[in-house]
Copies of this chain bind each other. A is one copy, B any other.
């Protein structure tokens, strides 16, 4: 066995949901598995996306050989524009994943300079000292792979996102055989998706929704609107097939829905029979019972096509009494209110709305494996070390417990989080320190608009109680106060009528009681004004607006 140390360092995704990114290092060579984003929590005001802090990579920029993608979901590819603009390294991914990546890089003007390498499940390729074997897995997206990375110390397997779907709609089976073979030969470490570790049993096959679709297509008398995640290629395919069988034309509405279905058709994942597809503008020319619309907006996003249709504010998508709207998706935590608000509007339009109410057959199934599938893969792979990935802390912990109980199949469980350095050598594995990791907040989707913590903190403060600005003019020659203080506020409710006058008095008093030295030191006088005004406001209104004194030099 060669001497040397293998480092595996998660830069994101372990201890948080999303922004999956993991560095694998042998000596002077680093590869990165996935480059995902995270959608911000509500308290990150004005932040559009969150990406991992990649200072470990930029500090080692001469060693980073490239990024290998497991599949094309945002939490695995969404940070690519940000990372590539800091560090333009080659990217490897399957045909379908790269199609999404191309779209994304194009949007950010990064496509021309990017080096994208297509990989094929089952075909090995080399990056530096690593030989990488992409293994076909099943998931809610198509063309997804796990990665077996041959390192000088042994093989490590990263599952990516997966479920073990025995009957995938595209008949591209989960490659159990490769997992089995690695298990026989010996695997150093297995890094496995923890997303659904809280669910008992097996996740149903993607085909389970077919029965629901069957039922809905059979019973729908008027227009049928179906909304699903635009990356749910299996669902798009199913909808196209069912529309054809039931004599309905199909229209795609929404930007992501259109681009996703185009990619899927180009790459042969969906076949749309001649004449089936119609332009949304032509829907009105067909009787309602002959139309099926695939429309984006399952999460009630305010500007999405479905949200706008729900309030009758979409050019083409007109939802009328007796139409059916099916939401073939899960409710992402945090979006409940927006989704139910949209559903309420659909009810008001007297549409028949079908959404996940726990009934069977299901209108949506998960793309992530449940406990029995996690156990199956562990039994096949029999790793020396088992490392849960992709999950909040409790999920990693539960996954560690699940694997820890499988004595015959797992040598040792390593519970690590983003930033931990997991070190392997000939003696074993251990946590060997930490690197700097964290979240970078990006505004307005542009790849470079980082929002600093202080600004988010300010926004949170502003959003609670608003802002109060006492403004005074000071003559820079004489040091004299040249105006009576002005007070302006936004987002602040002063309550009583006399508030403004009194607040002005307070500022005036503070000025009068300050020496001319104090008045000459703007820092000091501002702080005095802030303190006095804060005390007054807090006493009068029990509120704590942001108070920002301004001195105008004249």
Q: Give me the interface of A with B, judged by CB distance under 8 Å.
A: 15, 41-42, 45-46, 198, 200, 333-334, 336-337, 340, 343-344, 346-348, 353, 357, 359, 392-394, 397, 443-444, 446, 448-452, 455, 458-467, 469, 471-473, 482-483, 486, 488, 490-493, 495, 541-543, 546, 548, 550, 552-554
Contacts and interface: CB of A to CB of B under 8 A. Distances in A.
25 contacts: A15-B344, A45-B463, A45-B464, A46-B465, A333-B340, A344-B392, A344-B394, A347-B394, A347-B397, A348-B393, A443-B493, A443-B543, A450-B493, A452-B493, A459-B462, A459-B464, A461-B491, A462-B467, A467-B467, A471-B550, A471-B552, A473-B482, A483-B553, A483-B554, A488-B548
A482 B45 contact: no
A46 B467 contact: no
A448 B541 CA distance: 11
Contact of A334 (B334, B446, B450, B541): B334
A469 B488 contact: yes
A542 B446 contact: yes
Nearest to A459: B491
The 4 closest A-B pairs by CB, nearest first: A463-B463, A333-B336, A462-B462, A458-B491
A286 B464 CA distance: 43
A452 B448 CA distance: 36
Contacts of A464: 45-46, 459
Contacts of A340: 333, 392, 394
A474 to B, nearest CB: 10
Given A458-B490, A462-B467, A471-B550, 17 more contacts: A42-B42, A333-B340, A334-B337, A348-B393, A353-B394, A443-B493, A444-B542, A446-B542, A449-B542, A451-B493, A455-B493, A459-B491, A462-B491, A472-B552, A473-B554, A483-B553, A554-B554
A128 to B, nearest CB: 36
A543 B445 CA distance: 11
A110 B344 CA distance: 38
A502 B248 CA distance: 57
Contacts of A393: 344, 347-348
A329 B445 CA distance: 38
Contacts of A543: 443-444
Contacts of A495: 448-449
Contacts of A465: 46
A394 B347 CA distance: 6
A486 B101 CA distance: 44
Contact of A455 (B200, B488, B491, B548): B491
B336 A473 contact: no
A185 to B, nearest CB: 35
A439 to B, nearest CB: 14
Contacts of A553: 483, 486
Nearest to A553: B483
A463 B462 contact: yes
A451 B464 CA distance: 11
A495 B448 CA distance: 9
Contacts of A546: 490
A552 B483 contact: yes
A488 B550 contact: yes
Contacts of A444: 542-543
Contacts of A353: 394
A490 B552 contact: no
A46 B463 contact: yes
A446 B543 CA distance: 11
